[in-house]
């Protein structure tokens, strides 16, 4: 089920509200199914909660890093690279962003409003590691597990309540674990006035839109398609939460397996993208652009197989085969975003032109002439592309506010503009990639 983006903020809890925790809380496990994940909450008395905690102090010191900047700042975030591909909502990620506020940002586009969505949050709150010399933000990566630990961090303005120690653990198999070693106060008592207070998971997709009042500029609207919200009253010292990933449509690699899947989601196959999807994931914009929903309704896997047979690639002896491969390889160097084009025109030409009797000398000579012509065309295309790129570079340097400059910058994920949300704390990226520009808007519906 797709969750509407009516508000980013979690329910407000005033400072006057309190929650009493019994010193002899009964040990039990709570399990919930969230479509994408199954969550299990283990209370302080359970052995599983203790087993899930990763003791960084006993790990190889060469694999543990204390982030010097995050450990001495407030409301900042830094991007780090994992040593393995981590599956998150079916998408394989190699980069995460660690925030001082007790969460990981999992999005590809770095912006100021990291607390909005696309997060892994063991305990998102207004933590200030710069308050104490003993407060640190450290992470550990051994190739199969990635751990971030917020160690002895204090809430800004509530330092007298004591320090927190907790961690987020990403396993190579997609499991996510929240471990809580020291929680000195009820999470329900933490104020949301200056910073959101959340615990759980979230993911979103972005859709590019154009607005007539911005002189042709493009905006990107972000939609949160799924969120897991934990009951923060169950977050106590020595407790833990484990998220086990459920299968997603994205893991299926062919049409037959996709459409016959018995997953919770309504999986459909998009032939032009060669992708199985429910239509709601980070590739949503492509799914709409190529009208994949209509294609899956009107055609079957058998229809796609017939197309592949009819438009099958010509034999390797065809003089046009190297040309098509060269063009594909060359164009990939100039396109940042994923583009999927129908190559049936090239295939049809190859089938039409490649028919002939190889025993005739005239045909053999013609083949050599065609090969020389093709090499010349490829070189000419490369030269023209180099001239165009040089022109774009000069244009960006001379007039960075031109329409061409905006179009070029919008194609670069790390240069996308900042997101605008209501009632959300801004974060500053450590060693930001570039200037931020306005352009992201909050979506009212999905």
Q: pLDDT tens digit string along 7-61?
A: 222 222 233 332 222 222 233 456 777 789 999 999 998 999 999 999 998 888 8
Domain boundary among 217, 246, 275: 246
Assigned domain for 114 exists: yes
DSSP 2-14: PPP-S--SPPP--
State the Cα–Cα distance between residues 244 and 180, nearest whole angstrom.
18
Same domain (yes/no): 198, 296 = no
Mean pLDDT taken over the chain: 74
Q: Are 3 and 224 in contact (CB under 8 A)?
A: yes
Is residue 439 within 8 Å of 117, Cβ to Cβ? no
Same domain, 326 and 186: no
The rounded percent of the chain whose pLDDT value lies above 90 is 49
The size of the chain, in residues, is: 446
Verify that 150 and 190 share a domain, yes or no: yes
Structure tokens at 394: 């000069």
**Tokens 């459409």 correspond to what residue?**
259
Could you tell me the CA-to-CA distances from 413 to 139, 283, 438 in Å, in that order? 25, 14, 14
Question: pLDDT, tens digit, for every residue of 386-399?
Answer: 887 776 655 555 55
CB within 8 A of 187, min separation 6: which ones? 123, 125, 197, 199, 232, 233, 235
Q: What's the pLDDT at 30?
A: 67
Confidence (pLDDT) at 74: 96
- Alpha-carbon distance of 40 to 33, in angstroms, equals 9
Query: What's the CA gap between 415 and 396, in Å, rounded?
Result: 14
What mean pLDDT comes out for the span 194-220? 80
Please check whether residues 38 and 186 belong to one and the same domain: yes
Same domain, yes or no, for 56 and 192?
yes
Q: How far apart are the first and last CA of the chain?
A: 11
State residue 287's pLDDT score: 95
pLDDT tens by residue, 231-247: 999 999 999 999 999 99
Tell me if 66 is assigned to some domain. Answer: yes
Q: Is residue 148 in a domain?
A: yes
Q: How far apart are the C-alpha atoms of 378 and 326, rounded to whole Å?
A: 8
Pick from 329, 345, 364: which residue ends a domain? Answer: 364
Strand partners, 419: 440
pLDDT band at 187 (very low <50, low <70, confident <90, very high): very high
Mean pLDDT of 250-274: 89
Per-range mean pLDDT, top range of 8-12, 197-201, 257-261, 434-438: 197-201
Q: Which residue has the higher pLDDT, 136 or 322?
A: 136
Is the pLDDT confidence value at 83 over 90?
A: yes
Domain-embedded: residue 406: no
113 and 258 part of one domain: no
pLDDT at residue 305, as a whole number: 75
374 domain residue, yes or no:
no
Please give the tally of structural domains in the chain.
2
83-92, 252-261, 319-328 — most confident range: 83-92
What's residue 220's pLDDT?
77
Same domain, yes or no: 233 and 301: no
- pLDDT tens readout for residues 277-328: 999 999 999 999 999 988 888 888 988 776 654 433 433 333 322 322 332 2
In a domain, 398, yes or no: no
Are 60 and 159 contained in the same domain? yes
Sequence-separated (6 or more) residues with CB below 8 Å from residue 309: none
Question: Does 145 reside within a domain?
Answer: yes
Q: Is the pLDDT of residue 369 over 50?
A: yes
Q: Is 139 helix (H, G, I), strand (E, B) or coil?
A: strand
123 to 221, 229, 321, 354: CA distances (angstroms):
26, 11, 55, 63
Which domain covers residue 138, as residue numbers? 29-246
Q: Do 113 and 237 belong to one domain?
A: yes
Q: Tell me, what's the pLDDT at 363?
A: 43
Q: Quick check: is 437 in a domain? A: no
Cα separation, 196 vs 11, whole angstroms: 9
Same domain, 93 and 242: yes
Please list the residues that pair with 64 across neighbouring strands: 140
Mean per-residue pLDDT, 400-418: 41
Average pLDDT for 148-158: 97
Same domain (yes/no): 308, 347: yes
Based on the fold, state whether residues 241 and 220 are members of the same structural domain. yes
């Amino acid at each position: 089920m797709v969750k509407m983006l009516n508000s980013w903020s979690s329910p407000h809890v005033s400072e006057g509200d309190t929650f009493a925790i019994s010193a002899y809380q009964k040990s039990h496990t709570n399990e919930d199914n969230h479509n994408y994940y199954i969550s299990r909450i283990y209370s302080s008395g359970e052995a599983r909660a203790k087993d899930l905690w990763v003791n960084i102090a006993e790990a190889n010191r060469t694999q543990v890093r204390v982030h010097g900047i995050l450990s001495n700042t407030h409301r900042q975030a830094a991007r780090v690279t994992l040593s393995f591909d981590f599956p998150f909502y079916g998408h394989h990620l190699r980069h995460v962003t660690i925030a001082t506020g007790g969460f990981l940002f999992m999005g590809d586009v770095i912006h100021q409003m990291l607390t909005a969505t696309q997060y892994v949050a063991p305990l998102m709150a207004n933590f200030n590691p710069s308050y104490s010399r003993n407060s640190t933000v450290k992470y550990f990566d051994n190739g199969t597990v990635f751990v971030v630990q917020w160690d002895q961090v204090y809430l800004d303005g509530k330092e007298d309540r004591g320090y927190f120690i907790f961690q987020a653990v990403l396993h190579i198999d997609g499991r996510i674990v929240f471990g809580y070693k020291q929680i000195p106060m009820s999470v329900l008592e933490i104020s949301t006035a200056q910073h959101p207070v959340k615990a759980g998971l979230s993911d979103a997709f972005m859709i590019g839109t154009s607005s007539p009042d911005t002189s042709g500029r493009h905006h990107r609207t972000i939609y949160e398609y799924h969120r897991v919200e934990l009951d923060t009253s169950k977050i106590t010292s020595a407790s833990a939460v484990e998220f086990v990933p459920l299968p997603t449509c994205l893991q299926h690699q062919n049409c037959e397996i996709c459409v016959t899947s018995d997953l919770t989601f309504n999986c459909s196959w998009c032939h032009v993208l060669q992708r199985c999807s429910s239509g709601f994931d980070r590739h949503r914009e492509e799914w709409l652009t190529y009208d994949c929903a209509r294609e899956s309704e009107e055609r079957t896997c058998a229809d796609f197989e017939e197309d592949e047979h009819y438009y099958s690639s010509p034999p390797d002896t065809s003089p046009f085969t190297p040309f098509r491969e060269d063009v594909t390889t060359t164009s990939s160097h100039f396109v940042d975003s994923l583009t999927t084009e129908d190559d049936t025109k090239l295939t049809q030409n190859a089938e039409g032109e490649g028919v002939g009797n190889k025993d005739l000398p005239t045909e053999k000579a013609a083949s050599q002439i065609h090969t020389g012509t093709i090499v010349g065309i490829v070189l000419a295309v490369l030269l023209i592309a180099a001239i165009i790129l040089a022109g774009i570079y000069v244009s960006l340097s001379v007039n960075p506010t031109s329409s061409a400059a905006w179009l070029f910058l919008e194609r670069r994920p790390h240069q996308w503009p900042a997101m605008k949300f209501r009632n959300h704390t801004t974060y500053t990226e450590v060693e930001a990639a570039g200037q931020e520009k306005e352009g992201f808007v909050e979506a009212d519906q999905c």
